[in-house]
Amino acid sequence: MTETVVELSHVWKVFGAQAAETISAAQNGPLSKAEALEKYKTVIGVRDASFSVARGEIFCIMGLSGSGKSTLVRHVNRLIEPSAGTIRVLGEDVSAMGQTALREMRARHIGMVFQHMALMPHRSVRDNVAYPLAIRKIPKSRRWAISEHTLGLVDLTGYEDRLPKELSGGMQQRVGIARALASDPEILLMDEPFSALDPLIRLQLQDQFKALVRDLGKSTLFITHDLDEAIRIGHRIAIMKDGVIVQIGTPEEIVTEPADDYVAEFVQGISRLKLVKAHTIMQPLNGHAPPEEAKRVSGESDLDALIDISVGSDQPLVVQDDGQDVGVITKTTLLRGIQGGK
Amino acid sequence: MNDTGRMPEVALDEAAAHAAVRDIEVDRKALDASIAEFAGPNADYYARAFHRIHETTGPIPRTFNLAAFLAGPFWAAARGAWGMFWTFLIVEIIAFVQIGRGTWGQLGADALAQAERQAARAQQFLDRAAEAAAAGQDASRFETLGNNLMRAAERSRETAEAAAADANMILLTGLGFLLALRLVQALWANSVYEKQYSRWRVDPAGVASGRRPFNMALGIALGIVIIPLTVYRFTVEGVAEWITTFPADPDIYSNSARWLEGVIDDAARGGAGAFDGIVLAVRQILDAISLALIGTPWLVVMTVIIVVGWRVAGPRVAIFTAAALAYIAFLGYWEIAMETVALVGAAVVLCVVIGIPLGIWFGKSPRAYRIAEPVLDLMQTLPAFVYLIPIIAFFGTGNPPGILATIIFGMPPVIRLTALGVRGVPDSIKEAATAFGATRWELLKDVELPLAQPSIMTGVNQTILMCLSMVVIISLIGGGGLGQVILEALQFAAKGPGLLGGFAILFVAMVIDRIVQGAFRRADQK
């Protein structure tokens, strides 16, 4: 989990003729979006964004519409050129690539899934999935075999010869995922893939997707406007607002230590039961010996599990790390922990 | 039982809600401030008038606008209500003309003039009667004539007097009409102005507000130009000629025509090589198609057409095609009809070969399309007769220039609809193809053209139909085929040959249309 697959450092995207002037002005002092628009007639899409994605990681970028998250992710395969900053994919500088190398990278190493599926309506499901392979000039026999295999991964066996419009929205998006997987790329870019689907199908696809990515070992950049989805799916989450990455952290960090009021407002409605771990809420022992008969729990147990254990005993719970007692959780601590550590 | 216990609570809530709606106060102050900002001068009056209109439940709000009554259309102009200004300016002119006729118009002037002429001639006859009597001849014939004419003159004078007496009546009608119009304006003005106010609230920059001196001056200036001239023209006999006829100088026309002729001649001479090359290329295509249609035995061509019709458009179209071809063949039109088909075919081939690439280019480059759009509009709106002349000048007469004229008329739809189709391809699908590494060519071939295909086919179909309609007109510049048959029939007003030829053209057009439609419908279903 340590190898970096995608790395963005100090990436800016400014739309308009005076992009360079806007960036230098913004670097030398505060410059709001409205000021940039008034002074330079430019729109700041992404402002000084840096993050990296490790191999096998699902990295979520969460933000409301207009926060620049879709713009940001399109820098990775250079569908959008950055105004400043460097982007490295598998160690290579994307901005320095020539047209051929860029196309090669897009076709071989990056699979992308779009919010509105973007399937070709005139081609069968099979040919849609095989399109990235066709671009790579892979012979038809291989294309067909690979697309059948990939459609199997997303449970669409038997739908190969249908047209996309004959499929439901959820199935179409699974075709989109299969297409992104067809080239067996290291990296998946998911641009709000489940936003247009109804909630039940969305939950189902989220779980299916998470399992699939884990099994195949893909590194994923996942864009969403739904914090619940980001927490369900992501190993780490970046929260964006007005083109700025406000906070990057694990779901637990985001929920327990929001960086500012904006993030805090977002995490308010999030259930903490599955996120907050025992070592976050426990009180240190401070030299006191815990009662022998008290139940022992792991520091990684979440609140949900702690409640189950706590219900069956009158004693506080003792938290262990590597077999050592490190802290204690009383009923009061547990209730306060559920409430949010007030 | 519990439910009944809750009932009064719900009812109470509803009552409260209704009471709340009834108790909402009209915020007069804010409204008045807004109306004052809109109306400018006389804001208090308009605030009262608008409130009255807002509170009226009947069809017509009873308000009276004195300014509109006194100034009429000029009030509307000053307030920027131009629709009302024009409507009432024009209708009031009718009233003013009546008033003018009644006041100074020489009513019965022509009858009076006739009476005077008749009296003069009567006097002549009476003089000759006197001369005859003096010479001792029989004067009775002249006397009778003279007396008859005298009586006629008397009658004419009476008519003239009656007409003059009508003048008062006409004057009164005109005045009454004007008064009625002003009353309508006075009653209607505030309603119109209130509607303008409502629009102004939505779009303060685009809707006129206040009383603008410029608008008033413009309205009065328009009135000064329009009313006196029109009233003068209709009330006074024998107006100056420059008022009724535009004083055009014939030299301007002849000089322009001569200059233009020189320009075209020079251009034709200068580009002779290029123009001849184009004609030659078009002739090659036409000859190839003609040879295939006319050179091949008629039985082969007929069989192919009927079988194609059957395979692409079904058995019914095939039967119709066979009947139409039989009509053409039995009347001896076969060769000439095939010439028409060859002309249409050559024009369509050129339209498609040139039009689709242009359409793709215009679809991808908005700037190129902005430049091309007026040209395409011109190509479609220019009547064919207008560009037949320059075509003769540059390309001469005959079939190839005819095909060029057909192309000018027929190409815009295929260009437009190709551009429309290419522009209509969703960005998301293009982006997806790019994200998977597609080159620009692959993007065009795999995404843009297939998705634009229905639109392109509609364009080709329209182009075919337009070429068909044009192919008759090109007989005017020496184009052959069935159009020539019709043209000859027209020149000699030969009804029989004309109708037979007309039906032959109709059948050719219908066969082509049916087969093409059938082919496109099948492609759509795929």
- Provide the phi-psi class of B42: left if phi over 0, else alpha when psi is between -120 and 50, else beta: left
Averaged over successive runs of 10 residues, the pLDDT of chain A (342 residues) comes to: 82 86 82 82 88 91 87 90 89 88 90 90 91 90 91 88 89 91 90 86 88 89 89 90 88 85 82 78 79 80 83 82 82 81 50
CA–CA separation, A334 and A182 (whole Å): 47
Instruction: Decide if A132 touches B, using CB distance below 8 A.
Output: yes
Question: Residue A136 domain-assigned?
Answer: no
CB A194 within 8 A of CB A185: no
ipTM of the complex: 0.82
Chain B residue with Cα closest to A180: B436
Residue B116 has pLDDT above 90, yes or no: no
**Cβ pair B434:A116 closer than 8 A:** no
**Cβ pair B437:A112 closer than 8 A:** no
**Cβ pair A179:B446 closer than 8 A:** no
User: What is the SS3 assignment for A297?
Assistant: strand
Q: Residue A204 belongs to a domain with what CATH number?
A: 3.40.50.300
Instruction: Decide if A122 touches B, using CB distance below 8 A.
Output: yes
- Torsions phi, psi for A244 (to 5 deg): -110, 140
Q: What is the pLDDT of residues B97-109, one digit of tens each?
A: 888 888 877 767 7
Question: Residue A307 domain-assigned?
Answer: yes
CA–CA separation, B32 and B495 (whole Å): 75
Q: Residue A329 belongs to a domain with what CATH number?
A: 3.90.1280.20
Instruction: Decide if A135 touches B, using CB distance below 8 A.
Output: yes
Predicted confidence at residue B2, as pLDDT, reads: 46
Q: What is the pLDDT of residues A53-83, one digit of tens each?
A: 999 899 999 988 888 888 899 999 899 989 8
Domain C-terminal end among A245, A267, A289: A267
Please, which residues 49-78 of chain A have a Cβ atom closer than 8 Å to chain B?
Answer: 77
Instruction: Decide if A270 touches B, using CB distance below 8 A.
Output: no
Contacts B440 to A, Cβ<8 Å: none
A70 CA: distance to closest CA in chain B (Å): 13
CA–CA separation, B112 and B94 (whole Å): 26
Q: Which amino acid is at A220?
A: T
Chain B residue with Cα closest to A109: B436
Tokens for B404, please give them.
Answer: 């060029």
Four-CA torsion B494, B495, B497, B502, nearest 10 degrees: 120
CB A95 within 8 A of CB A87: yes
CA–CA separation, A168 and A176 (whole Å): 12
CB B450 within 8 A of CB B459: no
Mean pLDDT of B349-355: 94
User: What is the SS3 assignment for A5?
Assistant: strand
Instruction: Decide if A114 touches B, using CB distance below 8 A.
Output: yes
Cα separations (Å) of B50 from A277, B53, B71, B186, B206? Answer: 68, 5, 20, 14, 21
Query: What is the number of structural domains in chain A?
Result: 2
Residue, of B63 and B1, whose pLDDT is higher? B63
CA–CA separation, A141 and A48 (whole Å): 46
Predicted confidence at residue A1, as pLDDT, reads: 44
Instruction: Decide if A81 touches B, using CB distance below 8 A.
Output: no
In this structure, the answer to whether residues A196 and A102 fall within a common structural domain is yes
Predicted confidence at residue A342, as pLDDT, reads: 45
Predicted confidence at residue A217, as pLDDT, reads: 87
Domain C-terminal end among A267, A296, A314: A267
Tokens for B314, please give them.
Answer: 């079904």
Strands A317-321, A92-93: pairing kind? unpaired
Q: What is the pLDDT of residues B408-457, one digit of tens each?
A: 889 999 999 999 999 999 999 999 999 998 999 999 999 999 999 889 98
Instruction: Decide if A312 touches B, using CB distance below 8 A.
Output: no
**Cβ pair A120:B442 closer than 8 A:** no
**Cβ pair B446:A120 closer than 8 A:** yes
Q: What is the CATH number of domain B297-525?
A: 1.10.3720.10
Cα separations (Å) of B478 from A219, B57, B407, B482, B497? Answer: 72, 71, 16, 12, 19
Question: Residue A102 domain-assigned?
Answer: yes
Q: How confident is the model at residue B519 (pLDDT cuts 50, 70, 90)?
A: confident
Domain C-terminal end among A241, A267, A293: A267
Tokens for B27, please give them.
Answer: 């915020």
**Cβ pair B428:A118 closer than 8 A:** yes
Predicted confidence at residue B17, as pLDDT, reads: 59
Q: What is the pLDDT of residues A112-160, one digit of tens each?
A: 999 888 899 999 999 999 999 998 888 999 999 999 999 988 888 889 8
Cα separations (Å) of A239 from A113, A259, B525? Answer: 20, 10, 47
B452 CA: distance to closest CA in chain A (Å): 11
Q: What is the pLDDT of residues B448-486, one digit of tens each?
A: 999 998 899 889 988 998 888 888 888 888 888 888 888
- Per-domain boundaries in chain B: 66-244, 297-525
- Torsions phi, psi for B503 (to 5 deg): -65, -35
In this structure, the answer to whether residues A251 and A324 fall within a common structural domain is no
CB A7 within 8 A of CB A88: yes
Element (H, E) at B101: helix B82-103
Q: Which of B426, B428, B443 is nearest to A115 (CA)?
A: B428
Residue B5 has pLDDT above 50, yes or no: no
B458 CA: distance to closest CA in chain A (Å): 18
Stated pTM of the model = 0.73
B356 CA: distance to closest CA in chain A (Å): 20
Q: Domain range for residue A316? A: 278-339
Choose, out of B434, B436, B448, the residue to mutate when testing the contact with A (most A CBs < 10 Å). Answer: B436
Predicted confidence at residue B1, as pLDDT, reads: 42
Predicted confidence at residue B357, as pLDDT, reads: 94
Q: Which of A66, A62, A26 is nearest to A47 (CA)?
A: A26
